[in-house]
Amino acid sequence: MKKVFLIGDNEDLIKETSEFLKLQCDIADELDESADFIFELTNSGKEVKFNIMNFIDEKNTNGIIVSSSLCIPVIEQCLHSKHPGRIVGAGFYQTFSKSKGLELAKSKFTAEENYTKTKKLMEDCGKEVFEVPDKPGMISLRIISLIINEAYLVMQEGTSSREDIDTAMKLGTNYPYGPIEWSEKIGIDLIYGILKSMQEEFGEDRYRITPLLRERYLVKEIS
């Protein structure tokens, strides 16, 4: 079994990822040189993520870092690592384990061997793996975040209620959750972070965060 260590700023995501990996991996309580993989599960907090990257470099120099990269691209993380070739980006978010697929991304610095090993581990855990561009939101969460943002705009305008929006989307598109419900399961902070990162990356108005979604994010941060 591969020895893995999990770290990040979201305890719920750490628990979900641990459950996802435990049949194929030995989950370590502490980080040292024996870890084959280090899963870094911080998504939107750059300062927190980069501090954790420094901590990983101090404790382990050889393990592959599988880093959740929905808000911070792999290439940017490479600037804060002494060993950029071992960083593989992944699309981890709350409820990811319920999906059939998993998105992985690499930068031009990522060693192909490390990407291949990560892909095999995820496949061994039951995921269909897709290689995607190293961009904010990757693919599925980029699209889902835009749907959620539009749903909050509809709710803000009073065009429809939360219940009607969620019901219409579940029945009309066969989504597992309605967009408002989905935002709460994935996490308002992550949706906000992805939209903010996309707006900074592309500078397009379509990524502008709906005021109601921004308000919900701020309320969550304060509380």
Distances (CA, A) of 34 to 3, 42, 135, 153: 7, 22, 31, 49
90, 114, 131 - which closes a domain = 131
Both 106 and 176 in a single domain?
Answer: no
Q: Summarize pLDDT for 150-201 with one digit per residue, the tens.
A: 999 999 998 888 999 999 988 888 888 899 999 999 999 999 999 999 999 8
> In which domain, by residue range, is 200 found?
140-222
Q: What is the pLDDT of residue 172?
A: 84
Look up the CATH number of the domain holding residue 70: 3.40.50.720
Look up the CATH number of the domain holding residue 173: 1.10.1040.50
State yes or no: pLDDT of 205 exceeds 90: no
**DSSP β-bridge partners for residue 88:** 66
Question: Rounded to 10 degrees, what is the CA torsion of 189, 190, 191, 192?
Answer: 50
d(CA 119, CA 141): 19
Both 65 and 165 in a single domain?
Answer: no
The whole-model pTM stands at 0.93
